[in-house]
Structure 1
Amino acid sequence: MKIKQLHIQNYKSLVDFKLENLPAFAAVVGPNASGKSNIFEALEFTNYVCRFPFEATSFFGGLKNIYSYQATPGKKMSFYYKFDNDININFSLGITPQRNLDGFEDVYSIGQEPILDLGKEENPFLFLDIRDKNKRDNFLEVVRQKHLTYNNEFEIFIDNFSRLLVGKTFLNRSFQLQSRLHTNASNLSQILAQILDSEKKDDFFEWLRILIPEFRDIEIRKSNIDGSSEFFLYEMTSTRPFSRHLISDGTFNILSLMAAVFQNENPQFLCIEEPEYGLHPQAIELLVNFLREKSEEKGHHILLNTHSQTLVRCLEPHEIILVNKVNGATIAKQLTADNAVNIKTDEAWLSNAFGGGVL
């Protein structure tokens, strides 16, 4: 899965933000308050608009909290995604806020354009039609009849999107699916139970033993009272298990990141914030290799954001998107293989040899 073009306007600091030819595995790199999280939140917001068109803004604190301060009055928030297919598959969404004398109302209109450019179709397939199974099936049938190549990118983005920032409870929004890891990993026990009850268990355990050298086993205990689950971790040198409250933040982070990748066999769109949290430098390197490998193997689109020197050192130049904020607006510089230098990637970044993503 690959995004050919991304264009976001007037969402927080993303006044006129553009990315092109986004690799399947990449990292957004930049200083604090440069807008890295806003990029991921804008992707998440688009997903929510599709699922809850006229309630979506309420999950993000209301329109007044996401509409850019830099926007010209009356301008809409717009989100344009073009996927890398043989056909012109893209979707465009425009949200126009309505104002009153006191400022913003949380009221808006949604404008849409046809998802697939097949010429003049009597019943074009629009952004919000993805929620309608019959319209979705009809759209796929048109694609098959015309013998076009379509890799389900739009459906992957809507159906299998996850944003993860472990431990940040304020990011845990309402109506998150129970079958998918929540943004703050609060339902980790439930997702681990699903993984351990599947054919993915052996592969999952093999990677855990690489990233957590003392790891031996995981046990899921289910409450007879309310049906809730709790996981316990066993180490090589101990016969007694460790509950969630006894393991380190780094170990919990590793379990969460691994669970996010293994929660679905189908291709996913994963936005992972600060994956380096609580991890040893060697574990960070192993984790980057794991995420890169699973992206290639399973067709996942995995985006990271970071300001970790150790993580940047593990990246290839073409996997790096540098961001800075200029006059209140987030801007991006995408690196390519041509940006390779004769020093380590992190040194080139922090010395500003790449020309961006620094204080």
Structure 2
Amino acid sequence: MIRKIRIENFRSIADSGDVYLPKFGAIIGKNASGKSNFLSAIAFLKELVTGVDIGTAINGITPMTSEFFYVTGSPNRPAASTLISTFKFTIETDSGRHFEFTYQVGLNSTKQPPFFINSETLIEIVNGSEKSIYTREGENVFGEGTSSPTKILLNRLALASHPDESSQQVANAIRSYTIINEQPKLRGDAILVSENRIDTNTVEGLAVSLQKKDRELFNAAMACIKKIIPLFEGAQIQAIESSTASDSVDINSEEKKNPKLFFVLWSYKGFVPHSSASLSNGDRRTIFLMLSLFNSRSKSFFIAEEIENGMHYQRLAKIVDQLRTYGNVKEIQVLFTTHSNEILAALMLDEVLYCRKEPEKGSLLTAIKETAQYEIIKEELRGGSTAADVVNSGMFE
């Protein structure tokens, strides 16, 4: 889980200040206000912690180096050779320990590769006191109580490989985050899933992954989806020998040596089982969200961009209810962006963060209850107001 974030000089964010993230909640705001950039900062951290080099991770965000940093037309903006972005996260691990992790990304336009990790610090917070785990300056990493540094490549995050137990616990927590920022993949060969290559960016891969991990949890996920899609009956997953697979299906030689292939179809009441290619976009998105949630580890973090994409509006409240219910049961932090009034009607005020962009300050993220607009009209809204009531009042026009 991430309890608090602070981001400086990243994309549309100049300085977010300290932002406390809810256990369950949504980020709202106008188009181009910068909502996605806050989620991108978390996704970027996960990429680096999995061991991806910084250049590759940045290319996943933007092809232009200048767009990684906060862009303003001010003549006082620092020269490109001095640009630094700062990311600070207060992280709770599975065991309930709290850590503060800060790192800086720098750009030196005169060198190749231009991006580098400028610094890192990992601190454990125990009963209000801080205990240093390690610090990094450039390529030098100093563990607690050591005077001689270990070396690390400038384009790699030390947290990804630092050997002490505390660092590994934080890194494992971050690696467990589930981040959905696009529609599920749809491949022609998706009905066949190899145990050697389970792609959890597809509904088939998610279904096989969950069934192999925990059959009882898989059944619970199917029951959850049925509550949202009434005609849905479940996923049919059949293990087959790779040698019996159709010659028309592309299976590489390594997979042909492995007999563990899984054939996946989807069952609906009154219909012949079919592949995901015949699912509606809304059904595929619903199944993908729920299977991703149930695949998430307890006490981890589930993040999704605009969960309403491709959905019929009458389905949205049920999806929010399932996200909240399962998140509470498994202690999974859930955060998503939305523009949907139907979703807002299912949320309470303390579950919503409001994103706005100001000319001189960039994108800012604030709990609705802490905004000046809410203070002005809260008397008119007292008594069980939903987030939709607040937004529909016109206070954020």
Structure 1 partner of 2:8: 9
- Contact kept? 1:250, 1:278, Cα under 8 Å: yes
**How does the TM-score come out when normalised to structure 2?**
0.72
Shift of 1:256: 0.6
Structure 2 partner of 1:208: 225
Q: Which moved more, 1:220-229 or 1:265-274?
A: 220-229
Amino acid at match of 2:178: S
Shift of 1:335: 2.7
Give distance in 2, aligned partners of 1:304 and 1:331.
Answer: 16
- Contact kept? 1:24, 1:302, Cα under 8 Å: yes
SS at match of 2:78: coil
* Structure showing greater Rg: 2
Matches within 5 A, 1:223-242: 224=245, 225-226=250-251, 231-238=264-271, 240-242=272-274
Amino acid at match of 2:350: H
Shift of 1:337: 9.5
Shift of 1:69: 1.2
Q: Which moved more, 1:7-16 or 1:263-272?
A: 263-272
Give distance in 1, aligned partners of 2:210 and 2:166.
Answer: 33
- Aligned counterpart in structure 1 of residue 335 of structure 2, from 281, 303, 318: 303
Matches within 5 A, 1:102-117: 106-116=114-124, 117=130
SS at match of 1:296: helix
Shift of 1:21: 2.8
Amino acid at match of 2:120: Q
Residue ranges of structure 2 left out of the alignment (5+ in a row): 125-129, 134-143, 151-155, 186-195, 256-260
Shift of 1:242: 2.5
Structure 2 partner of 1:143: none
* Residues paired across the two proteins, number: 327
Q: Is 1:268 the counterpart of 2:300 in the alignment?
A: yes
Structure 1 partner of 2:60: 59
Amino acid at match of 1:17: S
- Aligned counterpart in structure 1 of residue 366 of structure 2, from 333, 336, 342: 333
Give distance in 1, aligned partners of 2:262 and 2:7.
Answer: 39
Give distance in 2, aligned partners of 1:335 and 1:298.
Answer: 26
- Contact kept? 2:27, 2:353, Cα under 8 Å: yes
Shift of 1:261: 0.7
Q: In the superposition, relative to structure 1, how do residues 78 and 69 fare at CA in structure 2: closer, same or farther (>3 Å)?
A: same
- Contact kept? 1:97, 1:106, Cα under 8 Å: yes
Structure 1 partner of 2:131: 118
Q: In the superposition, relative to structure 1, how do residues 33 and 211 fare at CA in structure 2: closer, same or farther (>3 Å)?
A: same
Amino acid at match of 2:17: K
The sequence identity of aligned pairs, in percent, is 18
Give distance in 1, aligned partners of 2:166 and 2:117.
Answer: 26
User: Over aligned residues, Cα RMSD in angstroms?
Assistant: 3.3
Q: Which moved more, 1:215-224 or 1:261-270?
A: 215-224
**How does the TM-score come out when normalised to structure 1?**
0.79
- Aligned counterpart in structure 1 of residue 90 of structure 2, from 66, 82, 88: 82
Structure 1 partner of 2:32: 33
- Contact kept? 2:301, 2:334, Cα under 8 Å: yes
Give distance in 1, aligned partners of 2:89 and 2:211.
Answer: 35
Q: Is 1:289 the counterpart of 2:332 in the alignment?
A: no
Q: In the superposition, relative to structure 1, how do residues 279 and 317 fare at CA in structure 2: closer, same or farther (>3 Å)?
A: same
Residue ranges of structure 1 left out of the alignment (5+ in a row): 141-151, 170-176
